[in-house]
Structure 1
Amino acid sequence: MPESAPMIAATPDDAEDIAKLRDRLAQWMVDNDIVQWAPGEYPAATVAEEVARGEWFVWRDETHTLIAVVRVVWRDAEFWGADDAEAGYIHGLMVAPEWRGHDLGDRIIQFCADHTLANGITRQRLDFAANNPVLRKYYTARGFTELREAPLPPRFQSHGTINVVLMEKMLA
């Protein structure tokens, strides 16, 4: 297991691997009757645009295999609407299935908190499909407070999820 979270800024070469990991996890969700992501809904071209804006971070193991990623943005009107405020918005937190159980999720959330604070921002936010009680419990246990449910942006509603839970955590 890696000793520390060596998250680094993604490069254009990472976009395809990030999209493939998301599709792999989306297929796992479909196979396990979890209605959240659909394979193919987040293409590498979209990831590449976001990488170019400095939004994605990657974690590769010693063999350079992608094991985890996360996207951090400072505004998120698409999901938060009129309540869009400056915050470290966590999106696309993904851990390769073979790395589950190594506390990488917690370490990535801490990386996001540190990155947010380093940018002078003291609020962290995230969203997830409202029909996912596992994520609700997970993020609540990590100090996030549920603010409300909101409609999922239309471009993500094609596979049955219509609402997201919006959560927030104030950072010290």
Structure 2
Amino acid sequence: MPEAAPMIVATPDDAEDIAKLRDRLAQWMVDKDIKAWVPGEYPAATVAEEAARGEWFLWRDETRALIGVVRVIWHDPEFWGTDDAEAGYIHGLMVAPEWRGGDVGDRIIQFCADYTLANGVTRQRLDFSANNPVLRKYYTARGFTALREAPLPPRFHLHGTLNVVLMEKMLA
């Protein structure tokens, strides 16, 4: 990723591009038989509502193509239930396929940590499909600890997994 490319707050106008990237990655997962995302399950209208609340961040290259995106929220009862303590909850971390293999994911996670701390919060949390050992290894290597498995919210039951792994990392 170019050093000059800052992560910026997404606007509702970015929603279509974010949804298209998610669908592109979801189709890759379907093609690889990875039970995580499916195309169309996260519409641009939903992304636009979340972007209007300032929850999405993105990087674009010099052609305005997306390099990576992420959503950060402060409470997450949908995935964490009653244990949705204040934290920087990372959702929708996506790296465009042409940028895979570099440090884009690590840089997005670091952005999330910096953003979380700048908002006076010292805990990060995230979740992923329980049937994905690659992501478990990736996030563990970045200092996250698995706390438990939990049921996937029903609106995401399209893709063949019913549980998510809930992970946490203390930042301070």
Q: Identify the TM-score tier after normalising by the shorter chain.
A: over 0.9
Residue of structure 1 equivalent to 2:7 = 7
**Which amino acid is the alignment partner of residue 7 of structure 2?**
M
**Which amino acid is the alignment partner of residue 11 of structure 2?**
T
**SS of corresponding position for 1:58:** strand
Percentage of matched positions with identical amino acids: 86
CA distance in 2, matches of 1:67, 1:115: 19
Number of residue pairs aligned between Structure 1 and Structure 2: 172
Kindly indicate whether residue 101 of structure 2 is the aligned counterpart of residue 104 of structure 1.
no
**Which amino acid is the alignment partner of residue 24 of structure 2?**
R
How far off its partner does 1:159 sit?
Answer: 2.0
Gaps of 5+ in 1: none
**What RMSD in Å do the two structures reach over aligned CA positions?**
0.8
Counterparts of 1:8-157 in structure 2 under 5 Å? 8-157=8-157
How far off its partner does 1:4 sit?
Answer: 5.7
Q: 1:93 to 1:4 in 2, by over 3 A?
A: farther
Q: Deviations over 1:135-157 (max 9, x none)?
A: 00000000000000000000001
CA distance in 1, matches of 2:5, 2:140: 22
TM-score, structure 2 normalization: 0.98
Q: Is the 8 A contact 2:5 2:60 kept in 1?
A: no
Moved more, 3-12 or 95-104: 3-12
**Which amino acid is the alignment partner of residue 42 of structure 1?**
Y
CA distance in 1, matches of 2:27, 2:170: 33
Gaps of 5+ in 2: none
